[in-house]
Structure 1
Amino acid sequence: MTTDMKKASSEVLANADAVAMRMAELLIDAIETCPEQKARIALSGGSTPKRLFEILAQPDMAKKIDWSRVEIFYGDERHVPVTHDDSNHKMAQSLLLSKVSLPASQIHPMPTSSSAKEDAATYQSILQKSYGSDTLEPGRPLFDVVMLGLGTDGHTASLFPGEEVLDNDRDWVSISAPKTAPHDRLTLTYKAIQSSRLVVFLITGENKVPMLKRLKQADDTIPSGRIKSDGKILILSDRAAAGEG
């Protein structure tokens, strides 16, 4: 059964650290209960996941995960070199991936060395190879967990307001060139995000109060309000973002 934002669950936690810890618990559970050989996880970028990556890299947390059963993907990426400070992969690599026993062959950064269009097609091919099919099958999700953020303009991943990618119902990966943010982007499409067992929004900070309210109201005039999952959707926010801090 498809879950849209009207059916999403929500948890309000004390602060950003509590949000990160709860997300860590969800990832550990998803990996342990994954029905396939490997759990496919799509990481989000931005500032909110930093604390999560730091927590997962701690030895006492890292040992709770069988990293041989994990494949890492990304929900979006700025089309910049992997050495660039704005690279989502650079952040995840430095804070987490380089510190745990995760085989390099199971880490899949979005490519950024060709044109954005070519790189999007390459990443879709990588996803299809991991999934084992060029077609998404009902009842067999592409991702076990998709992590998403929420922008103050209502975007999520790199699904920005007014971008053509919002209406792309064919591809798994596409491109975005937001006028309100730097860099061209690669991003998962709604179609790819929907093929998931669990979608989790990580939302912290008082500047997110207006958009979080609209997200919880399932406002489909903002890109994040159109997210669906073939499994569940959970909104994790701190008290500040929920307007309770």
Structure 2
Amino acid sequence: MTTRSRLKIRVAKDRTELRRLAAEVLAKKIRSAIQARGRCSLALSGGSTPGPVYEELGGSDLADDVPWSQLEIYFADERAVPVDHPESTYRLVKETLLQKHPEVLGQMFRMPADAADRDAAAKRYARRLPDPIDVLVLGMGPDGHTASLFPGSPALDEREQRVVAVTAPKPPPERMTVTPTVIERARSIVMIVAGAEKAAMLSRALNGIVDPKAIPAQLARRATWIVDQEAAAGLSL
């Protein structure tokens, strides 16, 4: 594992090490939030990279040190699909992080991206979403998007609403996402990035000109970035 001091970047040698490292960081941040405030609001993202991390946190020895009864789970974004759909982030979290902790399901608040009136549902979710979030977990796509904030999206200019319905340029297109305000106000952010296909964008995000409208992941530059060696190939460490 390699650590870079100026930006908070931790590089794992492979996805197995990344899975463990990210889970350890999350467990520590959750405990710290609970020690400070009695509860922890944890907002999660979906995708192929964080799934194994959630599984490690919920299913390994790390789970023994997580005060599950004091944890509230929210979502950074969600696709407009049923809860049992393979693309559902709610389903991902239920089947990984909470597979061995079903008692926590009542403390998980689904983002209703499939509601008939998505704009109204987004406003309701924003009212439920704590401000600020204690721990926010994000990922980054090869195009630089994070949550469901894609390059050039009008949602990047949103400053009044904390949650909005959006149409993404990749399937499934209909989604709901937190806005930049939520990311900027989060007490702690963990950004998890893996894969050679993200190396060029990761280099731009961390070493290039700061322009969140072009690279939304730059909204989280202050995050703890946990990346694998493939994704870090373009970084000077």
Alignment TM class, shorter chain as reference: 0.7 to 0.9
The answer as to 2:227 corresponding to 1:237 is yes
- SS of 1:158's equivalent in the other structure is coil
> Are the counterparts in 1 of residues 24 and 62 from structure 2 also a CA contact under 8 Å?
no
TM-score relative to the length of structure 1:
0.85
CA RMSD of aligned residues (A): 1.8
- SS of 2:47's equivalent in the other structure is coil
**Shift of the alpha carbon at 1:31?**
2.1
TM-score relative to the length of structure 2:
0.87
Counterpart residue number, 1:148:
138
Superposed, 1:90-109 pairs within 5 Å as 90-100=91-101, 102-109=103-110
Superposed, 1:218-237 pairs within 5 Å as 219-220=210-211, 221-227=214-220, 232-237=222-227
> Are the counterparts in 2 of residues 43 and 74 from structure 1 also a CA contact under 8 Å?
yes
Counterpart residue number, 2:20:
21
Counterpart residue number, 2:42:
41
**Shift of the alpha carbon at 1:195?**
1.5
Runs of 4+ in 1 over 3 A off after TM superposition: none
The answer as to 2:112 corresponding to 1:113 is no
Counterpart residue number, 2:31:
32
Distance across 2 between alignment mates of 1:160 and 1:59: 33
- SS of 1:169's equivalent in the other structure is coil
Cα 1:61–1:185 change in 2 (3 A) is same
Instruction: Give me the identity figure in percent.
Output: 33
The answer as to 2:199 corresponding to 1:209 is yes
* Equivalent position amino acid for 1:126 in 2: R
- SS of 1:51's equivalent in the other structure is helix
Distance across 1 between alignment mates of 2:173 and 2:31: 36
> Are the counterparts in 1 of residues 163 and 178 from structure 2 also a CA contact under 8 Å?
yes
The answer as to 2:67 corresponding to 1:69 is no
Counterpart residue number, 1:122:
124
**Which range is displaced more, 23-32 or 35-44?**
23-32
Q: Which runs of 5+ in 2 are unaligned?
A: 1-5
The aligned length equals 223
Q: Which has the higher contact order (CA 8 A, sep 6+)?
A: 1
> Are the counterparts in 2 of residues 76 and 187 from structure 1 also a CA contact under 8 Å?
yes
Counterpart residue number, 1:4:
none
**Which range is displaced more, 190-199 or 148-157?**
190-199
